[in-house]
Amino acid sequence: MDVFEAIRSRRSHRSFSDKPVETEKIDQILEAAQWAPSPANNQPWEFVVVTGDGIRVKLLSILDRTRQTGSIELHGFSYVRPAPGELIEKTNTESPAGHYSLSFLKNVPVMIAVAGEPDPSIRQGLIDRVKDGYKYACAASIQNMLLAAQALGLGSLWFTFFDGESVKDALNIDPAKHLVAIICVGYPASTPPSPGRLPLQAKVRRIG
């Protein structure tokens, strides 16, 4: 599959089959993540691969608590609600977490937590673009993972609705790091419909 096909066909999956994911494929996904660009090649990411049942049960109880309390941390990313028509179960419209069903999480075969390390050498007051470089690098590594998963016949999801501090604690992630996302990976149980995109001209200006 070429890169354009992977980009175009990738979808957010929220339903996975129970077919186990081969370790070699997870390694290929992690290697793709490693080749993402980062400021001065500082590679500010840490990837925690969660497959064991014990830790998964613990993680799920944290995630479920987040859903119930609506205690959401947005990790510095502004969150965009799902596009109209997207198949999301609205469980509780009072809370932002209510816009996503989390029930699928108990069937996710592999979760990869992505933690970013802020660069302590970057002075306060510097423009946000520089200060936030580690988050952008983590985002680039995540997109590499999603595309690699797609190319390997796997489904994936960029998941952010969780209480970052509790998840970091459960996964033994350095408190100084920032939990950017949990990437869910598995063989798809179905093909999600495309939520579509705005026409290109709505987002592009050409000068010259």
Ligand X SMILES: Cc1cc2nc3c(=O)[nH]c(=O)nc-3n(C[C@H](O)[C@H](O)[C@H](O)COP(=O)(O)O)c2cc1C
**Footprint of ligand X (CB under 6 A):** 11-12, 14, 77, 82-83, 86, 100, 157-161, 195
Provide the minimum distance between the beta carbon of 19 and ligand X in the complex, in angstroms, as a whole number: 21
User: Which C-beta is closer to ligand X: that of 22 or that of 81?
Assistant: 81
Of all residues in the shown chain, the one whose CB is closest to ligand X is: 12
User: Which C-beta is closer to ligand X: that of 84 or that of 208?
Assistant: 84
Provide the minimum distance between the beta carbon of 167 and ligand X in the complex, in angstroms, as a whole number: 12
Strands of the sheet with 178-186, listed across from one edge: 45-50, 110-116, 178-186, 155-159
Question: CA–CA separation, 139 vs 52, rounded Å?
Answer: 25
Burial of 14 (0-12, 13-18, 19+ CB in 10 A): buried
User: Which C-beta is closer to ligand X: that of 83 or that of 126?
Assistant: 83
Give the pair of three-digit tokens for residue 85. Answer: 């028509």
The answer to whether 127 touches 109, Cβ cutoff 8 Å, is no
User: Which C-beta is closer to ligand X: that of 87 or that of 126?
Assistant: 87
Provide the minimum distance between the beta carbon of 162 and ligand X in the complex, in angstroms, as a whole number: 8
Provide the minimum distance between the beta carbon of 150 and ligand X in the complex, in angstroms, as a whole number: 11
Give the pair of three-digit tokens for residue 89. Answer: 């179960």
